[in-house]
Every structure is written in structure tokens, then in C-alpha cells.
Amino acid sequence: MSNLLNSYFVKTHKLEISITIIAVVLFLIYFLGAPHVFTRFPIYRAFMQSMPFFGIIAISATFVVTLGEIDLSFPSIVGITSLIFGIIMTSTDGNFFIAFILATSLGMFAGLVNGLLVTKIGIPSIVATIGTLFFWRGLVNVISQGSGIAIVDVADGTWHHMIFVEKLFGKIPMQFIWFIVLTGLMQWVYRYHKFGNHIHFVGDNKASAQMMGINVDNVKIIAFVQLGFFSALAGIFTMYEMLYFWPTQGEGLMLTTLAAVFVGGTSVFGGKGTIFGTFIGVLIIGSLESGIVALGLSGFYVKFINGLMITVAVTVYALIQRRKN
């Protein structure tokens, strides 16, 4: 046992192991407290259906948080790109390719704007992205004039609807499969690609990274751009699920998404993080609401327990970090 505890894997994956234990305990509580719900499949199908919408963004946001930066504008990027997707889908009679390319390009453009504001103009990311948060949402309101767009006629029953949100074997929502695949891919990039490596160095110590020949500005810009892309993608997933665009789309995503990243163990100070942790964070944050209600507590407890989880988790990680130093 002590051998196991001292092994290289355990030593280097303390964070991932702790977060997994927390998740297992949480699901055990659900399971024991509400067996009538948690021994049956539908609750898991509901989780698999809803988690990917913010989970995809959380995975992508882990890159930005590891940089020591933050992006608060993604809920509005989801809004504007979904709007454009809806408009193009309806006006081209369901031309998926054009709609997809334009919506994701707009997402990347929005990310580029964030990246340029942060690196070239020098505005702290928390301020810059509050600005763009309002800007893109404002643009959604101006363009949509407050009304929604139904894409049911052009999307329902198409092959793209099938690969995005229909059920594999009639049971597993496709968006969850995509979420798993993207998580794996992003984990690989995060740990084993040059870009992921540079993200860690820039987040750790910007000046040192620069002296080691890493182009700090470019790394930051690319991080914001990829978050813009994945925000657009999450918006498109939501559109297929709902078959409808509504002007506040994305607004509820901010806190759950960032909470998943932080609960997952990515350092608020930058330089360290884990995609796997964020994935587990998504499972935790995404299950809290249904879990709490299923346990018989009223819905009023949801935010309270959410807040408790986040505060405790972030405190614990900060303490681990301090002990290391």
C-alpha cells in the first residue's frame, strides 16, 4: 500500500486522484441518498445530454486559465455565433457547411479580439473580456431584436443533426461522445504538444518563458482563439439539441464553466492544471443540481452547495500549492 502511495504515478497525479475521489464520494452520496433515481439510466442520459454544452468550453478554458488569464466573454461568444449559425442555416435552407464555417470563424475572430486586447493593448484579461462580454451580447440583441430563430425545419432529421445530438444505439447522446473525444484530444495537446507546453511556461513565469524563446503574445492569442472556436462549437451543439436560437443563449454558462475548471484543480495562479481534472469538475458541477433535488433538498440549495464546493476546492488547492512552496 505504501509502495502504491509513493509510486511515481501517484506523486505526479495527486490533484487528479483527489478530484476523482471527491467525485466518487459525491456520486456515492447521490446513489445512497436517492437510489430510486441513481440506479436507473435516465438520470445518466440527462447528464450526458446536458454536460457537454458547458463541458466543451470548460476543457478549452482550462488552457486560458493555465496561462494565468481568464475569459469572461465566452457566454456572449456562444450567443453571437449561435445567432449567426441560426441565421445562415435558415437563409441557406440548411447549408450546414457554410453555417458551421462562418459561425466558428466568428468565434475565432472574437477570441482573436480578446487576445489582441490582452497582449497588444495590454488590458488585463478580466477587464478586456468583461468589455467583449457586453459587446457581443449587445450585438446579439441588436441583430436579433430580441426574437429567437427556429432551425427545426432545416436541421431536424438531417445527417448533421444525427452526428451532433442524436442517440448512439438509441441510448448515448452523441454530444457526450464528442465531449469525450475532444477531452482526450485536448488532454493530449495540453500535455504533449508544443502549444500546451508553451501554455504551461507562459502561465508559470512570463518573463522566463520569453527569455527561453517562447513567443508569449502568440501563445496567449492562440489560447483565446481556440476558446472562441470551442465556444462557437458548444453553441452549435446547443442549437441542434434545442433546434432553436434564443437571444440569451449562453448566458447561464459562465459560472458553471469556470467553476468546473477551478474545481478541477487548475491553478488560479497559472502554470499548472489538468484537463482530466476539468473533466471531473464538469461531472461534479453538472450533476449537482439534479443530484441535490433528487436527494430531496429543495432547489434553493443548489447555488449554496455549488458555492460551497467551489470555495472549499479552491482553498484546498491553494493550500496544497502553498505547502509545496
Chain centroid offset of residue 259 CA: 10
Choose between 34 and 209: whose C-beta lies nearer to another protein: 209
- Is residue 59 near another protein by the rule CB under 8 A? no
Positions in 196-225 near another protein (CB under 8 A): 197-198, 200-201, 204-205, 207-215
DSSP state of 149: E
**210-216: Cβ within 8 A, 24+ apart:** 216/119
Closest to 58 measured CA to CA, from 291, 277, 225, 319: 277
Cell numbers linked to 184: 482526450
How far apart CA 121 and CA 99 sit, in angstroms, is: 32
Give SS3 for 238.
Answer: helix
Choose between 48 and 214: whose C-beta lies nearer to another protein: 214
How far apart CA 12 and CA 276 sit, in angstroms, is: 13
Q: Which amino acid is at 52?
A: P
Number of neighbours of residue 112 by Cβ within 10 angstroms: 15
- Is residue 171 near another protein by the rule CB under 8 A? no
**Could you tell me which stretch among 114-122, 138-146, 165-173, 186-194 binds another protein (CB under 8 A)?**
186-194
State the nearest-atom distance from the C-beta of 194 to another protein, in Å. 5
- Is residue 13 near another protein by the rule CB under 8 A? no
Q: Which of 6, 12, 39, 145 binds another protein (CB under 8 A)?
A: 12
State the nearest-atom distance from the C-beta of 269 to another protein, in Å. 9
Chain centroid offset of residue 293 CA: 24
Task: Report yes or no: 133 and 69 within 8 Å, Cβ to Cβ.
Answer: no
Q: Which of 9, 169, 192, 300 binds another protein (CB under 8 A)?
A: 192
CB contact set of 36 (below 8 Å; sequence gap of 6+) = none
Cell numbers linked to 303: 447555488
Positions in 230-289 near another protein (CB under 8 A): 271-272
- Is residue 182 near another protein by the rule CB under 8 A? no
Choose between 12 and 298: whose C-beta lies nearer to another protein: 12
Question: Which H or E run contains 130?
Answer: helix 125-144
State the nearest-atom distance from the C-beta of 92 to another protein, in Å. 34
Give SS3 for 71.
Answer: coil
State the nearest-atom distance from the C-beta of 119 to another protein, in Å. 16
State the nearest-atom distance from the C-beta of 101 to another protein, in Å. 23
- Is residue 31 near another protein by the rule CB under 8 A? no
- Is residue 97 near another protein by the rule CB under 8 A? no
> Which residues contact another protein by CB under 8 A?
8, 12, 188, 192-195, 197-198, 200-201, 204-205, 207-215, 271-272, 324-325
